[in-house]
Structure 1
């Protein structure tokens, strides 16, 4: 068994060029749980929610102004034909926040002395996935991982769930910021004054919480549960980024980009969800639902299955799933206890490196091994991962990226990695000897065939390319 390689790559993000030997892999992983820094320098230096919201507000105001200008004769036909969004985005700070966040994420992962904790951060960010496909969400994606996920991965699942659900990125991505209670004071006023249906209820967030974040599919909840939960969630919105009544009723002093609760948007009355009655306690109503969902047996099984799959195989061992689920229920979703149970279990250590690294994992492990602080200009980082098939914070659906081997093992995807490895190796030239680097990075997973192929390479660059495209390095 390649114990050292599994510790560094299945649990971590690959060995760094200067890492000492991992004498006690399990103890090394356990220490990281206590040493994890949720706000390292690269992340702490980023601008906060107010600046991100301000960039989108500026964009929206400029777009409205351009639309007005488009109707004026003074504007040329060429200018009229340009897409206002593209014109604005080309010089907008919105994308800068996204790029800066992606760069900080990569810098942190490459430099981190606690790669196990970094992997757990990425796992949970993907479990509670948002996607930078919607314009209001783009700038918030990094902030979401850094403020909602990272600070809570060493707490309870309930606290992590609530932080994720209530972050502006999640509320905007799943349209919760525009969800109004059908019988809320605002909806009733619209019906009375304008003689038309009031603003509507949006069930996206409620459905995804039940299906993806907590209970999982086919676990007994009904459409009535989804609707009732959606009503309990009404009132949550984002300051400065909504429209209409939601913004007119915003509390004085609410900073742009902050999550707020507006009682006039909330559906009045108790809600019955999974057979339990929840009194109308305003913002506390949805929190009570979330805390109950967080410790539900179906949630324990769902989370245990996903965690076991990430650290073992497409079809995780039932015994490991059961052990993790039991720990989750026993501790009320204490996450460090769950991680300790995972590391102490035999199943993640039994199989050799068989799971394909995602493009993100592979690139980070390459950079850690080569002491590469960057792969070019920071603005090109999103394009790099898009080219490799895993755009940063853009999985395209609330389900996130999956962990299955077939997703990342396609021939076209592997060819992209070979080409990138060759380009990087060519740039480094003879400054790094793959023959010396391979035993460090592959450790006890280095097989004679790979070692011999690297030794026979025609050039140092070719040797590096062979190392990073080797079967062992491609897997975790």
Structure 2
């Protein structure tokens, strides 16, 4: 099939925007070649996985436990100071990981990888329910999401489902088989959160071919899986519900272990019904809130034929004419708006990493919250909304305008000439009205802000 490839549309819809030295991909083949190659952005701006993150969550939790145990003793003040030092260090780690994430998007030649990472991290959304996990969300993406965006979907399902961040967020760590050794002794019970979201959100959709009984049986199968900051990730047979489980027609051994759980996750992730849900979500995210049925069917077919090869599915999306409709109905969500703006301004990645804490707070953290997307805090396990109406709100628009009028002059000195910037940010076919507004602005700051707040920049 012949597609109406457009470098500017490719950079907007499937990337993180244009920049002074990034005019847009040359072709679909070039995009797939970059995606298939080494992850250069992650190499340049590495983010540690959970096991390598310093300070570790366990260190903080041990410090907090020691301080609580020493309550009322002379040592408590020193232990409280130590706990505070860990808390501050973990905040620094979280900030630096956020800045590295932004630097990757701003400087990469492989914008599609950044977009896919954001999409899949949102598909398997987690958030921190305690302070100890706040600095573990970016490592979760490093561990469970980014390595698999060009791999097999089933591998990502296993990695995300069994990651400590997911186990804690969806309360798997407190789920115990009622008839297990621990359950009978302590009266602990089954928690179905992870099993339910796995089936409803991650695999099949809310109207998928499963029943409440399947949710319960899967929850029972998962009961041995847990995480404890003292022992780390583990499969504990004394917490596992005894007996065989039957999930969506397939029976799993009464002598379940971690490999049984992984096999069940792979079985579920490779069922043919999963393809339609994943294909629809991809098309809705990248192309239109009203997905073209032929495009969804094409992606679903490739997903089924390849057993969930995500590189092949991505290539199928980029190779379909319906993915290249000229009308841009999607709206850049706030994090992408900020990343694309910095990219258009030509901000250097190292300058982002060296941003003053006050500037990070004033121009990254607070604005994202005002725009409706507080950092790493989706409202639920279904992640961020896709529809344009959720982002184009009075408060959200005000936040975007304030950011566009103020942040550029903090990030770039001197600001580019708006008459040049309009072509850099919007491409050679920038709308005449935006070009005129930029050239007529009284100040450079105002001209840059007008370009960044224009519908032509906001829509993808």
Deviations 1:75-100 (A, max 9, x none): 9xxx9xxxx9xx95994433333222
Q: Which has the higher contact order (CA 8 A, sep 6+)?
A: 1
Q: Which residue of 2 aligns with 1:26?
A: 28
Deviations 1:249-272 (A, max 9, x none): x5xxxxxxx422122221222101
The structure 1 residue matched to 2:155, chosen from 131, 140, 159, is: 159
Q: 1:361, CA displacement in angstroms?
A: 0.7
Q: Which residue of 2 aligns with 1:464?
A: 448
Q: Is the 8 A contact 1:55 1:94 kept in 2?
A: no
Give 1:19-58 correspondences, 5 Å limit: 19-20=22-23, 22=25, 24-37=26-39, 39-44=42-47, 48-49=52-53, 51-58=55-62
Q: 1:425, CA displacement in angstroms?
A: 3.8
Pair 1:156–1:309, CA change in 2 (3 A): same
Q: Is the 8 A contact 1:162 1:290 kept in 2?
A: yes
The structure 2 residue matched to 1:332, chosen from 307, 311, 317, is: 307
Give 1:347-366 correspondences, 5 Å limit: 347-366=322-341
Q: 1:239, CA displacement in angstroms?
A: 3.9
Q: 1:314, CA displacement in angstroms?
A: 1.0
CA RMSD after TM alignment: 2.6
Q: 1:426, CA displacement in angstroms?
A: 4.0
Q: Is the 8 A contact 2:438 2:448 kept in 1?
A: yes
Give 1:410-421 correspondences, 5 Å limit: 410-421=393-404
Q: Which residue of 2 aligns with 1:128?
A: 124
- Does the residue aligned with 1:31 lie in a helix, a strand or coil? helix
Give 1:257-296 correspondences, 5 Å limit: 258-279=232-253, 280-296=255-271
Q: Is the 8 A contact 2:18 2:24 kept in 1?
A: no
User: Partners in 1 of 2:108 and 2:24 — Cα distance?
Assistant: 16
Give 1:249-264 correspondences, 5 Å limit: 250=231, 258-264=232-238
The structure 2 residue matched to 1:8, chosen from 1, 8, 11, is: 11
Q: Is the 8 A contact 2:8 2:23 kept in 1?
A: no
User: Partners in 2 of 1:236 and 1:50 — Cα distance?
Assistant: 25
Q: Is the 8 A contact 1:40 1:108 kept in 2?
A: no
User: Partners in 1 of 2:158 and 2:438 — Cα distance?
Assistant: 49
Deviations 1:384-419 (A, max 9, x none): 422332122210211100211111111221111111
Pair 1:110–1:74, CA change in 2 (3 A): closer
The TM-score, its normalising length taken from structure 1, stands at: 0.86
User: Partners in 2 of 1:7 and 1:317 — Cα distance?
Assistant: 18
The runs of 5 or more residues in structure 1 that have no matched partner are 191-196, 242-249, 251-257
User: Partners in 2 of 1:52 and 1:317 — Cα distance?
Assistant: 45
Worse-matched range after superposition: 310-319 or 424-433: 424-433
The structure 1 residue matched to 2:64, chosen from 54, 60, 64, is: 60
Q: Which residue of 1 aligns with 2:133?
A: 137
The runs of 5 or more residues in structure 2 that have no matched partner are none
